[in-house]
Structure 1
């Protein structure tokens, strides 16, 4: 993988995943719904799962440099 696209993809995935984890944590701590019309535990669980996947994918992209 070329270094330019790998750096961009790694930064995008890592920032998105970290922001999703932070946003989900704040919403859960405040008792607000994570997604409207969805069971609170299911929404929080899926958001944390996908946030972690995006962070790991970003780290994997950085590891390919």
Structure 2
């Protein structure tokens, strides 16, 4: 039984880590460079990384929820 639960815990851990990492990346970048303007073209890659990390983390949690 513990062997079956291990992948679920790993997926949950990695998904939460992606969400926390994405938010931390956004906050650190914003504090370091003052880049809170979403529409400034030179900061678009930073927001793309943030969105991808949070989206994959959320998707992992949703897939884990629907797996049961």
Which one scores higher on RCO, CA 8 angstroms, separation ≥ 6? 1
Spell out structure 1 runs of 4+ moving beyond 6 A: none
TM-score normalised to structure 2 length: 0.64
Gaps of 5+ in 2: 31-43
Gaps of 5+ in 1: 33-37
Name the larger-Rg structure: 2
RMSD: 2.3
Q: Larger % of helix: which?
A: 2
TM-score normalised to structure 1 length: 0.66
